[in-house]
Amino acid sequence: MKASRASSRPSCRVAVCCIVLAGCASYSGWGLKPGQASLTEVVATMGNPAMSWRDPDGGEQLAYPRGPAGTQTFMVFIAPDGRLQRIEAVLDIEHFALIGPGKADRAAVLRLIGPPVPQWTSYFPTRNELVWEWQFCDSWNQLARFDVLFDATTGIVRTSYQRPALMGANGVAPWCGR
């Protein structure tokens, strides 16, 4: 009896590894080939997008936010012929730098980095300001948060980047593990 239990353990480990790897593939769309994968295959692999936009040329953009526990949003770009063009991870400093006064409004921010974490959205009536927030891995591979603030009075958009205080041991931001 003990021998059969011991021999079944490796197969359980293999099954668990396969499930984890399949979850990782669907998380980022890893394995989908640009120019080959269809929109149907993208949705079958990654699930239904949180948001989508139709381009004038017939192409489509799909947003896959993986928060609040995840640290990435993936933008999937579909060509007019229905084939995958590319998948971009968009929660990074390069994309954040494109947001700012005169450069972005709510619609532009959504299309650039996807929807914020709903639980972290706040409105401050005294400042007449709406704040959207995303969690991401910063350049130092630490868990961080990025905020976009929309001033309803002036229309000015500003951003804020912060490492979450006291989230990790001794007040140090946790590592992302990438």
pLDDT for res 24:
43
How many other CB atoms are found less than 10 A from the CB of residue 28?
17
Tell me the average confidence (pLDDT) per consecutive run of 10 residues in the chain, 178 residues long.
50 41 59 96 96 97 92 97 97 93 89 94 94 90 89 86 63 68
pLDDT for res 43:
96
Full set of structural domains in the chain with CATH: 31-89 (3.30.1450.10), 93-171 (no CATH)
pLDDT for res 142:
82
pLDDT for res 153:
83
E-only strand ranges, 22-153:
51-54, 60-65, 73-78, 84-89, 122-124, 129-137, 143-151
Q: Is 44 helix (H, G, I), strand (E, B) or coil?
A: helix
pLDDT for res 18:
38
Contact status, residue 24 vs residue 39, Cβ threshold 8 Å: no
What are the backbone dihedrals phi and psi of residue 152, each rounded to the nearest 5 degrees, phi first?
A: -75, -20
pLDDT for res 27:
73
What are the backbone dihedrals phi and psi of residue 131, each rounded to the nearest 5 degrees, phi first?
A: -120, 125
**Tokens 């591979």 — which residue?**
141
CA–CA separation, 141 vs 133, rounded Å? Answer: 18
Nearest CA to 77 out of 53, 46, 47 is that of 53
pLDDT for res 44:
95
**Whole-structure pTM value:** 0.79
